[in-house]
A and B are shown apart, each in its own frame.
Chain A
Amino acid sequence: MRPSAAVRGTLRALALAATLTSPAFAADPIKIGSVVSATGPAAFLGDPEARTLKLYVDALNKKGGLLGRPVELVLYDDGGDANKARTFATRLIEDDKVVAMAGGTSTGSTMAMIPVFEEAKVPFVSFAGGIEIVEPVRAFVFKTPHTDKTACQKIFEDMKARGFTKIGMISGTDGFGKSMRGQCLKVVGDYGITILADESYGAADSDTTPQLNKIKNTPGIQAVLNPGFGQGPAIVTRNYAQLGITVPLYQSHGVASKSFITLAGPAAEGVRLPAPALLVADKLAAGDRQKPVVAAYKDSYEAATAQPISTFGGYAFDGIQLVVQAIEKAKSADPQKIRDALEATKDYVGVTGIYTMSPTDHLGLGTESFRMLQIKNGDWVLETPGQ
C-alpha cells in the first residue's frame, strides 16, 4: 500500500519545516566516532574520557561546529572487552560512516580495533599507552599518551642524576603495569641501573606488604619504582610507609590525578613521578605555552563533573582536539585528507604535551613533555630533574 499523495505532501512539508527551524541540522553533521571503556574494570580511565569527549563536542557545537557543519559524536562503550570494541569499531565504519575515530581506552582494545580502521582507511587516534600502537607506524593510526618507554626514560634520567644505580621494582599485572615493566626492563641498562628485586601485584590486590617486604630485605636498593594504575599505586604507597622503607619511591604517569594523593594519604609525601603539565595547571610558569590550554580544560571539566581532572581525560581531550584541528586544516571531512593533516600536525599545544608528528612518528611527544613532580604537603610540586 502506497501512502496517498496528501500524506506524502504533509510529510514533505514537515521535513522542510524541521530543517528550517533547526539551523544546527542545516548541514550534514560531521561524524566522529569513539569507543571507550566507560564501564567495566577500566571504567576509572574510560569514564573521564567519555565525559571529556561529550563536553568538548558540546562546546564545539555551541561555537558553531566545524567547517560550518555540526559535529556528531558517536560514542560507544566496550565495557573493557576487546571483542566488543572490535564490533563497535565495525559499526562505526560500516553503519555510522564516521570520518575519524578518537578512542580506545586500553592497548588491548586499541589493537583489536586497528585492523578495522586500517582497512577502511579512516584515521584512528588512540588514548592507550602501549608502544606497539605506533611502532611500527601504521598509515591511519595515531595516539596521544606518552609511551611507557618515555616514562621509564624520564624516571631513570632522574635516578641516574641522583646517583642511584640499584633499584627495586613492583609492578601491577594489569595492561599498564605489565607493559611499562617490559619497557623499563628494556631501557634500564642504558642508564647504568640494575633492578635487584622485581615484584608484582594483582589488579585488585588489597595488600602488597609481602612483596614490598621482600624489596625491603634486598640489600643495596637505593630507590623503588612502581609502574601501575588504578588503586594499586595508592596501596603500594601506603604499605611502603607502613613498612618504614626510607629509600625514595617513584610512581609513574599511571598515577594520573589528584585522587591518588587523597587515596594514599600522608604516605604519598615525597613520592616522585613523571607527569604531563595537566596535573600542575596552577603551578606552571606564567610563560608556559601549555598553561592556558591546561587551565581551560581543567576549569571546564571540573565545573561540569565535580571530579578532579585526570591525565586519561586529558588524552581524550588531545585526541579529539587533534582530529578537529586536522579537519579544520584540511578544510575537508574526507578521511584520507584528515589523516594527511594529522600526520602533518606541527607544534600543537595540548594538555598532555606539545605534539609534532611526522610520517615516522605518529605520537610526536618526547621526554620533555613530561614534568618531574614530587608530592609535598599533599600537593604536586614541580621538580628540577636530578635534585
Chain B
Amino acid sequence: MLATILRARFTPLLALAVLMAVIPLVAPSAFYLRVAALVWIFALAALGLTILMGYAGQVSLGHAGFLGLGAYGVAIGPAHLGLSPVLSLFLSAAAAGLIAYVVGRPILRLRGYYLAIATLGFGMILALVFNSETAITGGPDGMQVARLTVFGWRISGTQNWYWVAAGALLIGAWIALNLVASPTGRALRALHDSEVAASAVGVDVSRKKLAAFVIGAVYAAFAGGLLAAMNGLITPEAAGFMHSIELVAMVIIGGMGSVIGAVVGAAFLVVLPQALTAFQDYEQALLGLLIMVFMILLPGGIVPTARKWLLERLS
C-alpha cells in the first residue's frame, strides 16, 4: 500500500500541497512564512536545474544568471519600458528561454564539461552586466522593483507572498512531473544513463539536451522574477557565481531528478544559515563540506536515497 503510494506519479505533488497548507497553521510568526516562501521560490529554480542535471546529465554553473535575468526583467520592465510587472515576469522568463536556446545550441553539440564551462562564463558576464550598467540596473546597490498587481490586487505582505510562491511551485512541479512522464522525459532519462545508447536508439541527443537547458532557464527566470517582486529590490549578487553554486548544491543535496528532492534541497540551503546563526563564521566551511560529503557518500541525494531505502524495506 505504502509502496504503491510512493511509486504513484502525483504523490509528490499531493505531499507538497499538504505541506503548503499545514505550514501557515503551525508557523509561529510571519518570519517562518517568509523562510517557507523563499524555499518555494528557490525550489522552483532548483526544479528547472534538476531537469537539466538529473535527466539530461548536464550541469549549469551559471544558472543564477538566468535567475538574475528574470529578476532584472521584472524590475526593468515597469521602470524603463512602462510594462506591467506581471507581463514583465512572463516576458523575461520567455527571454531567458530564448537566450538559453541561442547560447545552448552551439555548445550542446559538444560533450562532457563544455556546457558547465560555457554557462559559467555566461553567468559571470551577466552578473558583470547587472553590476556595470548602472543607468539601467542601478549598479551594485541594486534596483527597486514595482509591486506585482494581479487583476487589480496588489500583492504585498509575507502571507500573500507565501501563497503566490506556493502556487507557482505547485504549477511548476505539476508541469515538471508531466514532462518527466512524457516521451521527451523518457528520452532525457535514457540520455542521462548513456548518450551513446540513447543516440543509438534514435534519440536526437543535442536537441533533447537543449530542451532541458531551455526549460531550466525558464524555471530559474520565473523564480528570479518572483524573488525580486517579493523583496521589492534586486541586487547583482543574486546572479553571481556563488549563487549558481548554491542552486546546484540544492539539486545535489536534495537528489537529482527528483521533484521533492528540489524542494528538500532548497529547504536545506535556505534554512541552513537561519539555523546556524550562532556559528556564522563556520557556515561557509560547512557548506563546502556538505557539498563534498553529499557528492562522495550520497551521490543520489537525500530524497531518492530515502525513497529507495523505504521501498526496499517495504517489499
Contacts and interface: CB of A to CB of B under 8 A. Distances in A.
A94 B31 contact: yes
A86 interface: yes
Contacts of B284: 39, 79
B63 to A, nearest CB: 16
A210 interface: no
A179 B139 CA distance: 9
A39 B284 CA distance: 9
Interface residues of A, number: 32
B231 A175 contact: no
Interface string B36-77: 001000000000000000000000000000000000000000
A112 B280 contact: no
Nearest to A92: B31
A76 B283 CA distance: 12
B134 A87 contact: no
Nearest to A202: B128
B281 A39 contact: yes
A87 B141 contact: no
Interface in A169-187: 173-175, 178-179, 182
Interface in A33-89: 38-39, 76-77, 79-84, 86-87
A108 interface: yes
Contacts of B195: none
A239 interface: no
A93 B158 CA distance: 13
A82 B75 CA distance: 15
Interface string A194-225: 00000000000000000000000000000000
A175 B139 contact: yes
B78 interface: no
A231 interface: no
B235 A108 contact: yes
A245 B227 CA distance: 47
A115 interface: yes
Contacts of B140: 108, 173-175, 178-179
Nearest to A113: B233
B232 interface: yes
A130 B283 contact: no
A87 B38 contact: yes
A112 B281 contact: no
A24 interface: no
A76 B233 CA distance: 20
Contacts of A82: 142, 231, 233-235, 237-238
B23 interface: no
B30 interface: yes
A352 interface: no
Interface of A is mostly: helix
A107 B281 contact: no
A112 B233 contact: yes
Contacts of B231: 82-83, 86, 112
Interface string B229-249: 001111101100001000000
B237 A178 contact: no
Nearest to B158: A90
A38 B279 CA distance: 12
Contact of B235 (A91, A112, A115): A112
Contacts of A84: 273
A107 B232 CA distance: 15
A179 B31 contact: no
A288 interface: no
Contacts of B38: 83, 87
Contacts of A38: 280-281
B29 A106 contact: no
B221 to A, nearest CB: 16
Interface in A82-124: 82-84, 86-87, 90-91, 93-95, 106-109, 111-112, 115
A91 B274 contact: yes
18 contacts: A39-B281, A39-B283, A76-B277, A79-B284, A80-B237, A82-B234, A82-B235, A86-B233, A87-B34, A91-B31, A95-B29, A108-B140, A111-B144, A112-B231, A112-B232, A174-B140, A175-B140, A179-B141
Given A108-B237, A182-B134, 19 more contacts: A38-B280, A38-B281, A39-B284, A77-B277, A79-B283, A79-B284, A80-B237, A82-B231, A87-B38, A90-B34, A90-B158, A91-B31, A106-B141, A108-B142, A111-B142, A115-B232, A130-B141, A178-B140, A178-B141
9 closest A-B pairs (Cβ-Cβ)? A175-B140, A94-B31, A77-B280, A94-B29, A108-B235, A82-B235, A107-B141, A95-B31, A108-B142
